[in-house]
Chains A and B, each alone.
Chain A
Amino acid sequence: MLFDINTAIGHWPFRQVPCESPSQLRALLTAKGIAGAAVAHTHGLFYLNCHDANLELAEAISGHADYFVGVATLNPRYAAWERDLPACREKLGLRALRLAPQYHGYRLGCPESVAIAKAAAESGLPVLLPHRVIDVRGKHWLDTEQTISFEDIAAFCEAAPETKVVVTEGAFGSDDLVGKEGGPLRCPNLYLELSRAHNGLCGLPAEIAVECMVFGSGAPLKCITPALLKLELAEVDEAGRQRIGWENGRKLLGLS
């Protein structure tokens, strides 16, 4: 069983992308053996008032409650996020919060970003943090070329220690993710989606990988099979593969 924590619906403005509707995305994921997914709305990256994308998302996936779990997108420097966040959780049924400082014009770690992360934790929502959305080397002229540094991510995790932070689209190495001499995870509240993991899940020791890695594909912006292969070839036992592929993501979202 596979659960994908990194998918999206909605129109990506800079390239033709297939399967942007919930039905199409569900068919695409199901064909690859993925039994459920967390889904964000791409419009949330681009709307000034990105809460409108949360409303669109909730409506779009309302017929797929058996498959999709919605991920809210909010800008902590925009008006009314304090009202929008509980509304996302309680009225719209969304199960995670995505922050996208590259697209919303603030730096991760600013007071507002820490405040919304702490509020998310109080609402039982993990924070999804895209290291990038696409490879910036191929960006459109109007798109951002900013990524988030691991130092900023680590500082953010430390500033909001009760918040579970899932970095998506991150390509970090074991030096970033574990302490010196193979010690414990530098940030115990940090999780890493695996679609860009190299070297057998970033070269992490198996017991740490099983704790902190979460399966995700980046569909439909990205091909799915590379992520499947990373999970298949990960140097962990079958129980560990089950945790990375299914349990960790669902547990973070409060589904199990």
Chain B
Amino acid sequence: MAVTGPAWGGARRIDAHFHVHDADPAAGFSRSTGKLDRRRAEQSLQHAEKLGIGFLCTSFPLTSESPTPEEVRSANDLIFEAMKLSERYLGFCFLNPGYACESLEEIKRCIVDGGMVGIKLYHQYRICDPALTPVMGRAADLQVPVLMHAGRGMDTETRTQQPRLSDSAHMVRAAAMFPDTILIQAHIGGGGDWEWCLRHLESRPPNLYIDSSGSVVDSGIVDKTVAAVGLDHVLFATDMSMEEGVGKVLDADLTDEQRDRIFAGNLKDILARRRT
């Protein structure tokens, strides 16, 4: 059964990719105490408000090599706290798909029972790894999107530190492997050869979307993304780079109606597909 999504009100902009922080600043994203940095979360809401961002799809991905189920639950507890702080925070449930059974339990806890609206995966596994099959199947059942950290790093640091980073080729392969799952490739502007990514995405299956987030605001990045994947498959997002996220969409050569699709319309359509 399809359920009604969040009460959007007049929200003009919905951020498809955002993060909040742990109360312990030393934790970074490598671990979680399960406690939200409420001050920063409130500041983010205020900043988003100034930029016309009504809702933020928010997760707390752990960057360590293989977070345990307990660590994953702690990360998601932090998101529950953000959701309690404000209904403008829409939860995305972080998973380590290497723990298949525990991941399915966490999907039940966070999405079926807890009201989160999507799944967030990081670089523990590539998106097309068969280990993801149970998670992808359950996401397809529920028709919730899977947001995958991705990019094509050209520098030594990225390649060294993220050896299992998914790129567009992996995303296209995964979209064919899991045709009923809604996949979102994260941050075309997240740092890396975004043109290489777009050339692969030109041949994307219809269940693969791209988010516009990241601090990279190279001229033409959104125009070329729209040209490569189609207007209805581009989702506005910031990944915490808010002015960059809004500004590069505003700078694209689009009509107001086209911009509205990217800023909110496309994501609303995706989230309206959620089933319980």
Residues of A whose CB lies within 8 Å of any CB of B are: 15-19, 134-141, 145, 171, 196, 198, 218-230, 233
Contact = CB atoms under 8 A, between A and B. Distances in A.
Given A141-B154, A198-B241, A219-B219, 9 more contacts: A17-B220, A134-B218, A137-B151, A137-B154, A138-B192, A138-B194, A196-B215, A223-B248, A227-B247
B216 A138 contact: yes
B219 A18 contact: yes
14 contacts: A135-B215, A137-B154, A137-B155, A137-B216, A139-B154, A145-B157, A196-B215, A220-B219, A223-B248, A223-B251, A225-B248, A226-B243, A226-B247, A233-B47
5 smallest A-B Cβ distances: which pairs?
Answer: A226-B247, A137-B191, A225-B247, A229-B243, A223-B251
Contacts of A225: 246-248, 250-251
A223 B249 CA distance: 9
B84 interface: no
Given A135-B191, A138-B194, A233-B51, A223 B154 contact: no
B50 interface: yes
Given A221-B219, A229-B51, A139 B247 contact: no
A112 B220 CA distance: 38
A139 B194 CA distance: 10
Contacts of B250: 225
Given A137-B158, A145-B155, A233 B251 contact: no
Contacts of B241: 198
A183 B39 CA distance: 23
Given A139-B154, A230-B243, A222 B219 contact: yes
Given A15-B195, A230-B243, A223 B219 contact: yes
Contact of B243 (A16, A17, A233): A233
Interface in B139-168: 151-158
Chain B contact patch, size range? 20 to 34
B193 interface: yes
Nearest to B217: A223
A222 B217 contact: yes
Given A223-B247, A226-B244, A229-B51, A17 B219 contact: yes
Interface in B181-199: 191-195
Nearest to A140: B154
Contacts of B215: 135, 171, 196
B154 A18 contact: no
Given A138-B191, A139-B154, A224 B251 contact: yes
Given A18-B220, A223-B217, A233-B47, A136 B155 contact: yes
Contacts of A19: 219
Nearest to B222: A223
Contacts of A196: 215
B221 interface: yes
Interface string B235-246: 000000101101
Interface in B205-260: 215-221, 241, 243-244, 246-248, 250-251
A230 B194 CA distance: 24
Most chain-A CB neighbours within 10 Å: which of B153, B154, B219, B241?
B219
Contacts of B194: 138
Contacts of B193: 138
